[in-house]
A = this chain, B = another copy of it.
Amino acid sequence: MKYCPECAGEVTHTIPEGDNRLRYVCNSCDTIHYHNPKNVVGCLLEWEGKVLLCKRSIEPRYGYWTLPAGFMENGESLQDGAAREAREEAMATAEDLSLFAVYNLPRISQIYIMFHGTLKDGFADVGEESLDVGLFEKAQIPWDELAFPAVTECLQRYYDHHPRSTGWEGRVHTADIHSRPGQPVDIVRHTAT
């Protein structure tokens, strides 16, 4: 940020009085411009024991497989956002969504909020942002071609603890995911395995 979105004045990166963090402050109108983490919302949809994955047609991670997920929009709920991503990426209808996992990605100031649900009628087709979509059994998951560490973690936890199995209904996985492109991923899980 170089200029104030309200008055076009130049901004300074400084700690405002009474604050303890660097903010962009307008030199002309004194407005403080806050920046906050963004939520990525998505879903793990199953149908007859298989899981819906999408092959990305956009960067980053073009050509890699992902669960339907993307940035949450203003005015929607987390669940509505997750369902919208399934619709946009895989022409899919998400049913019976329940909260499944919440992951912190502090380096890039993102939170992944993932739901579990059912793929209505088992139907999916290639949507915008996808090259391909498919329903995968556990043995078919392309583990080496998954787009993001949060997707891998979500799928692994799903196979470890099915969200509708006894003792896990309603439980939510939480973790910190520390990753940089080309480096090993470090995952700190908060919930008992």
Contacts and interface: CB of A to CB of B under 8 A. Distances in A.
Contact of A77 (B71, B73, B106): B106
How many copies, total? 2
Given A3-B7, A98-B190, A106 B39 contact: no
Interface of A: 1-8, 11, 18, 21, 33-39, 71-80, 98-99, 102, 104, 106-107, 109, 111, 113, 128, 170-172, 174, 176, 190-192
A106 B75 contact: yes
B77 A39 contact: no
Contact of A3 (B8, B76, B172, B174): B8
Contacts of A71: 34, 36
9 contacts: A1-B5, A2-B8, A8-B8, A76-B106, A78-B104, A78-B111, A98-B190, A170-B192, A171-B172
